[in-house]
Amino acid sequence: MRVLRIACFDFPATFNPVYATSETAQAVMNKIYQSLFYFDGQGKIRPELVAAASPNEARLEISLTLKKGAFFADGSALSSRDVVATVALLKNPLFEYPYLADLDFLEKIEAIDPLNLRIKLKGKFAPWKNYLTFKILNAEEIRSFDPLKFRRHVPMGSGPYKLARRNEPEGFELQGNPFWPRPGSFARIRYSVLRESRQAPLKLLNAEIDAVEIHSDDAKTYSQMKKWQKQFSLMKYNKFGFTYLVFNMKNSRIDRNLRRILYNRLLPTSFLDIFLQGTGEKVFSPFLYLSAEKRPQPFPTVAMSAPRKLKILTNSESVVRKQLVLFLCEEMKAFNIELEPVFVEYKTFLKYLKQGNFDLAVSAFLLDMDWNLKDILGSDGYFNYAGFSERKMDEVLEKGLHEMDAGKRRKIYDHAHDLWLKSLPLIPLFNLNYYMGISRAIKIPQKRFNLIGSCGDFFYNLQGW
């Protein structure tokens, strides 16, 4: 049993799972806490704390039985009472849970006995398991907690590790939960924060760390560097989401003809393949599960009679997005579309998106592993930066949420894809490949994470490592 040394690129803003929203913070939470359900390495929803689930569609009820043998870091057994208390805290607006809207489908949750729960739904809700992935807290510990003090608190978890040390901004360390029922491969996990992503291969070469995400440019270099190959392995994986081009639908100059001209240049052609050079794959539908089957066909368009001058916004800290914008600015000149790049830092970029302060913008989504895109394409969607509002789309998206039959649900989202194609408020572009460098001294299990969603990470809770 030894220490696993992982490098990351930011220090978590919080170690409280209720407020952990960044990728690094969520990766740490996956090792300290457990959920009722989680997404496995292939993107499928799996039970974590749940032993059995019995939905009663007619009564809008779900019966859950918890697994035996889950313990918090103080030795207390995790029970249905802890689940009920966690839900009550998350649904209390005073605690300002960032994903509170995700729990709107819950009418009531009650403990039947220490291992059995009953959930009452407000209505039929197909992806109910996907939204039971919040981390379970200890009922006794969080009882009567002041909301402001709770924000600064690090609650106990029932996962394989617990927080042992913080040394901001250099790093932090986890140690094994003494009450975790199965022996793990590592007694401690030591995280160090790198200031620059290009340091990652050097840290692996010098045996200063055991694992770190590798920059895409360094991943290209890997095949040419024998010394690198001797020292560490390169593991490819994907994140469930995509980079996309979004249009400000409130701008009358960005009409459907212009949107179709851009679509024709981006998806049916080899433009993105040339740009990506193997670093990712094109995405042909915003409903990502449909992407491989929805091959694009060019639209009929009318040539621009006069130049159309527009600004295109993106995050200055993303090298890939900046390069794409610059490529696109040159490419679209031939179509009488003059794009002026606007590069701003990330917080300003988000502010501009939410305010609609752009003509076109290149951004990215990291999604929940489900068909549901109500947040993005719904009229009142939180991430609907296009300002897209269409009654038929709203109706179809709502219908998709409530259809419990998988086959029928698939047909609903086929229809939603067709509606998106008619309006084109955004164009999905590509899903990048990501790489993790792993020291040759580390044994890599056959079953590892290949696909990561909005609450996952490459190592998850390190079971099996």
The CA distance from 113 to 131, in Å, is: 23
Instruction: Look at residue 131 and tell me if it is in a domain.
Output: no
**Into how many domains does the chain fold?**
1
pLDDT at 1: 57
Which residue, among 235, 231, 236, has the nearest Cα to 439 in the 3D structure?
A: 231
Instruction: Look at residue 398 and tell me if it is in a domain.
Output: yes
* Per-residue pLDDT tens digits of the chain, which is 465 residues long: 589 999 999 999 999 999 998 899 999 999 999 999 999 988 889 999 999 999 999 999 999 999 999 999 999 999 999 999 999 999 999 999 999 989 999 999 999 999 999 999 999 999 999 999 999 999 999 998 999 999 999 999 999 999 999 999 999 999 999 999 887 789 999 999 998 888 999 999 999 999 999 988 899 899 999 999 999 999 999 999 999 999 999 999 999 999 999 999 999 999 999 999 989 999 999 999 999 889 999 999 999 999 999 999 999 988 899 999 999 999 999 999 999 999 999 889 999 999 999 999 999 998 888 999 999 999 999 899 999 999 999 999 999 999 999 999 999 999 999 999 999 999 999 999 999 999 999 988 888 888 998 888 999 988 777
Residue 359's domain spans which residues?
241-433
Instruction: Look at residue 407 and tell me if it is in a domain.
Output: yes
Which pTM was predicted?
0.89
pLDDT at 108: 97
Which residue, among 22, 180, 38, 9, has the nearest Cα to 98 in the 3D structure?
A: 22
Instruction: Look at residue 183 and tell me if it is in a domain.
Output: no
pLDDT at 182: 83
Instruction: Look at residue 189 and tell me if it is in a domain.
Output: no
Instruction: Look at residue 206 and tell me if it is in a domain.
Output: no
Instruction: Look at residue 40 and tell me if it is in a domain.
Output: no
Instruction: Look at residue 279 and tell me if it is in a domain.
Output: yes
Q: Are 4 and 188 in contact (CB under 8 A)?
A: yes
pLDDT at 42: 86
